[in-house]
Amino acid sequence: MAKDEQFEILLTVLRKFQEAGILADFMLIGSWCLQFYRYHFEHPEKLPAFRTLDVDFLIPHASRIKTEVNVPEILRKEGFVPTYNRSSGIVKYNHRELQVEFLVPELGKGGNRAREIKNLHIKAVALRYLNMLLDYPLLLNYERLLVRVPEPAVFALHKLIISERRLNKEKAQKDLETAVGLLEFLYTKPGEIKQIKSILRTVPRKWLQATLSVSGKHFPQLNETAMNL
């Protein structure tokens, strides 16, 4: 299957979510955001083009969703099959070309169990550091689809943090390359540098330390920016 066909499948899923009135409840995170950033920045050459099979949807306010929509049924109709992990309770939706997963920000102590979102008939995985993405949303109008993604600057900083926490070395390396590639591009845009500064000013101290410890080794320019806040 051609690469563009992969993107077409994702767009179909997004269209179905929009028709069902739930696209506004989701934020698309993960490497597929880069595809939308390319569109946002009018297809620059320097923007990294990594993308994986994983399509991650972050659900910011699961408890506020009042509409009942059978999300697994929507995905089934598009050829996705639910794949269950019995020990953790996590359900992923697999397709030959893609894998859809739902995430929620982890609150408090957290835990390994999946969180059920009854109105959407899905289970979402709770992960740390997702709140920072929610604080900087970017709404894009792509082919009449209103897609919510994190701002590129916060996306890059988040990738830096999680690259250190990944157990899978290959994924960690990919995260790091994406983050550094995106930061290199963003540093050519004064408006984005300003945004990076504003994010660095507001992130919790521990998160800032986590970010700077990685960037110190791989993108020292960010540490200089943090010094001159």
Partner 1 sequence: MEGILKQELLRLKETERSYVREVARLRNGSLQEKRIKGTPYLYLVSSKKSKLSYQYLGGLSAEELKKLKADIALRKKYQRLLKEVRQDIRRITKILHGKRRAV
**Nearest CB to partner 1, comparing residues 175 and 192:** 175
Is 107 a binding residue for partner 1 by CB under 8 A? The answer is no
Within 161-200, the residues that bind partner 1 by CB under 8 A are 168-170
- Burial label for 183, CB within 10 Å (0-12, 13-18, 19+), is buried
SS3 call for 36: helix
Residue pointed to by tokens 């890059």: 156
Answer for the pair 32, 51: CB distance below 8 angstroms, yes or no: yes
In terms of phi and psi (left: phi > 0; alpha: psi -120 to 50; beta: otherwise), the region of 225 is alpha
* Segment interacting with partner 1, rule: CB under 8 A, options 34-42, 76-84, 112-120, 195-203: 76-84
**Nearest CB to partner 1, comparing residues 27 and 103:** 103
Binds partner 1 by CB under 8 A, chosen from 67, 83, 88, 198? 83
* Segment interacting with partner 1, rule: CB under 8 A, options 12-20, 93-101, 117-125, 213-221: 93-101
Residues 6 or more apart in contact with residue 159 via CB below 8 angstroms: 175, 176, 178, 179, 182
Helix (H) or strand (E) holding 142: strand 137-142
**Nearest CB to partner 1, comparing residues 77 and 201:** 77
**Nearest CB to partner 1, comparing residues 95 and 158:** 95
Minimum distance between the CB of residue 83 and partner 1, rounded to whole angstroms?
5
**Nearest CB to partner 1, comparing residues 141 and 168:** 168
Minimum distance between the CB of residue 85 and partner 1, rounded to whole angstroms?
9
* CA-closest candidate to residue 183, choices 200, 171, 168: 200
**Nearest CB to partner 1, comparing residues 5 and 135:** 5
Within 9-68, the residues that bind partner 1 by CB under 8 A are 53
* CA-closest candidate to residue 30, choices 146, 171, 189: 171
Site residues for partner 1 per CB under 8 A: 1, 53, 76-77, 79, 81-83, 94-96, 99, 168-170
